[in-house]
Amino acid sequence: MNYLEPYISALLSMLESMSPYLLLGFLVAGVLHAFVPPRLYSRYLSGTGMRPVALAALLGIPLPLCSCGVLPTAVSLRRNGASCAASTSFLIATPQTGVDSIAATYSMMGLPFALLRPLAALITALAGGTMTGALERRGLLHAPAVGNGNATVETNESRTLWQKTCQALRYGLLDMMQSIGRWLLLGLLVAALITVLVPDDFFTSSMDNHLLNMVLVLAIAVPMYICATGSIPIAAALMLKGLSPGCALVLLMAGPAANVASMLVVSHAMGRRATAAYLVAIIAGAMGFGLAIDLIPSVADVFTGAMPPLSGHSSRLPLWFNHACSVVVALMIVAGITARYTGLMKTDTTKPDNMKEYKVKGMMCVHCKAAVEKGLAALPGVESVTVDLARGTATIEGNVDDETVKTAIRNLGYETE
């Protein structure tokens, strides 16, 4: 049987459905990145009460940071005075959703899922932040000490409106694709594969055992690294094969936020007890929301009935506009992945005597790269910093000793040689 033609058709149909909303989400993400000063994310996040925890969740929900990109951001918040409770709340809410994934969720899974994802992220973040705050008030946390306010460097204050606009476009249309392009592409490829190869009644036999299905989804989602946007086509394709909407929600929540790689870094940066609160809030919240949907038939029918088909043109937008957006997003994916890995082709050239290169382990996206660049640039004696994401290196020019650099890298949540 020839699977190639239906596979390509399913892949292009999914790309066409998501592309207009992805572009909108990326542009909004670029505006947030360029026009909102980073210091606002730490100014109001000190203290262990509900206010900083709630503000951290509300600030994190629209940010399009993946589960690795949110880590240096949260560490930076912590070092600039944010409490462990607020930092944990930010860590839980941010990777589960973002303006880009909310828009894409609406396009592929319907309005109910698009509304529930940020709501679930908010509630789980409040729960995790509250648990961490209780531990913090009792002195039970042993997270790394808070540093001074010079851990990050403000770069937006002196920029003109035109410079900020260019920065927003570059970040939204290129830099973000360096972070999530490969995961978005992987999600589309896997979803198209599921659509073509998995029988339509695959999950029908186990539909009544909702708890078992959710445990199986968690077993797959926790070790899997996939971003909030890349998980959408996979969840949508599985629902069309009989997966319940509650189980799909578990995948959407746990997949981006609770992977093993992130757990290790969170444990290093925030402490083991805060990491436990982080994990418990995500898993309990995902399964709680999932069971609430599946065990009430009328609610499950709302989520299932609102989901648009993944084949054919079902968008309210003009067909030509969807095609144009699909071409733009495809070019963005290619450009983003190419830009991310072009460092593999670079060769070393002669370096000045005061230039040293350090291996940095754990960088996975442009947010990680930016965090390392800003953190190292703030060190006394550093003249310039260049971070090569593909090679996992940081090259520093200036007069600064090795131990200071290594300590700064570790304080940012990464390992170094």
Nearest partner of 282 among 228, 237, 207, judged by Cα:
228
Q: Are residues 87 and 21 in the same domain?
A: yes
Cβ proximity of 207 and 244 under 8 Å: yes
| Percent of the chain residues topping a pLDDT of 90 | 6
Closest CA to 114 of 99, 136, 128, 124: 99
pTM of the model: 0.69
Are residue 105 and residue 147 in the same domain, yes or no? yes
* Residue 169 covered by a domain: yes
Q: How far apart are CA 305 and CA 313, in angstroms?
A: 17
Helix, strand and coil percent figures for the chain, each rounded to 5 = 65, 5, 30
Which of 412, 414, 416, 415 minimizes the C-alpha distance to 76? 412
> CATH code at 400?
3.30.70.100
SS3 308: coil
Q: Are residues 134 and 201 in the same domain?
A: yes
If one compares 412 and 409, the residue with the highest pLDDT of the two is 409
Please check whether residue 249 lies inside any domain of the structure.
yes
Q: Rounded to 10 degrees, what is the CA torsion of 317, 307, 126, 260?
A: -100
- 306 & 371 share domain: no
The Cα 291–Cα 294 span in angstroms is 5
Stretch 65-79: mean pLDDT, rounded? 66
Q: What is the mean pLDDT of the chain?
A: 77
Dig out the tokens for 93 from the structure.
């809410």
Kindly state whether residue 338 falls inside one of the protein's structural domains. no
Token duo for residue 358: 């350090």
Tell me the pLDDT tens digit for each residue of 245-282: 998 999 888 878 776 656 665 676 667 787 888 888 88
Tokens of 230: 């890349």
Last residue in a domain, options 328, 358, 383: 328
Does residue 47 form part of some domain? yes
Q: How far apart are CA 329 and CA 182, in angstroms?
A: 12
Give the Cα separation of 379 and 108 in Å (integer).
45
pLDDT digits (tens, 9 = 90+) for 83-141: 788 888 888 888 888 888 888 888 888 899 999 999 999 999 999 888 888 887 777 76
Task: Please identify, among 300, 328, 356, the residue that sits at the C-terminal boundary of a domain.
Answer: 328
Residues 250 and 136 in one domain: yes
Take residue 389 and report the two structure tokens written for it. 């994401």
Examine the domain organization and report whether 309 and 388 are in the same domain. no
List Cα–Cα distances, 15 to 11, 20, 321, in angstroms: 6, 9, 13
Q: Do residues 71 and 262 lie in contact, with contact meaning Cβ atoms separated by under 8 Å?
A: yes
**351 and 322 in a common domain:** no
Q: Per-residue DSSP letters for 104-143?
A: HHHHHH-HHHHHHHHHHHHHHHHHHHHHHHHHHHTT---P
Residue given tokens 């970040």 in the structure block: 171
> Do 227 and 122 fall into the same domain?
yes
- Higher-pLDDT residue of 323 and 180 is 323
Is residue 238 one of the residues assigned to a domain?
Answer: yes
Same domain membership, residue 20 and residue 141: yes
Per-residue pLDDT tens for 190-224? Answer: 878 877 887 766 665 555 677 888 888 887 777 66
Q: Do residues 196 and 269 share a domain?
A: yes
Is residue 333 included in any domain, yes or no?
A: no
Q: How many domains does the structure of the chain reveal?
A: 2
Q: Which residues contact 317 (CB under 8 A, 6 or more apart)?
A: 20
Run of H or E residues at 397: strand 393-398
340 is a domain residue? no
In a domain, 252, yes or no: yes
pLDDT, residue 345, reads 44
- Give Cα 334 distance to the centre of its chain: 20
**Higher-pLDDT residue of 314, 379:** 379
Q: Please check the confidence at residue 346 and state whether its pLDDT lies above 60.
A: no
The last residue of one of the domains, among 302, 328, 354, is 328
Residue with tokens 């909004």, as numbered in its chain: 28
pLDDT at 144 exceeding the cut of 60: no
* pLDDT for the residue 347: 45
Single-letter residue type at 152? T
Instruction: Print the domain residue range for 97.
Output: 4-328
Tell me the backbone φ, ψ of residue 416, rounded to 5 degrees. Answer: -145, 160
What is the C-alpha to C-alpha distance for residues 34 and 161, in angstroms, rounded to an integer?
A: 10
Task: Report the alpha-carbon distance of residue 127 to residue 195 in Å, rounded.
Answer: 36
Q: In what order do the strands lie in the sheet with 382-388?
A: 382-388, 393-398, 355-361, 415-416
Residues 257, 404: one domain? no
Is the model's pLDDT at 22 over the cut of 80?
A: no
| Residue 12: pLDDT over 70 | yes
Alpha helices in 198-313 (DSSP H): 210-221, 231-240, 245-257, 260-270, 272-294, 297-305
106 and 170, same domain (yes or no): yes
Angle at 221 between CA 216 and CA 225, to 5 degrees: 160
Residue type, 165: T
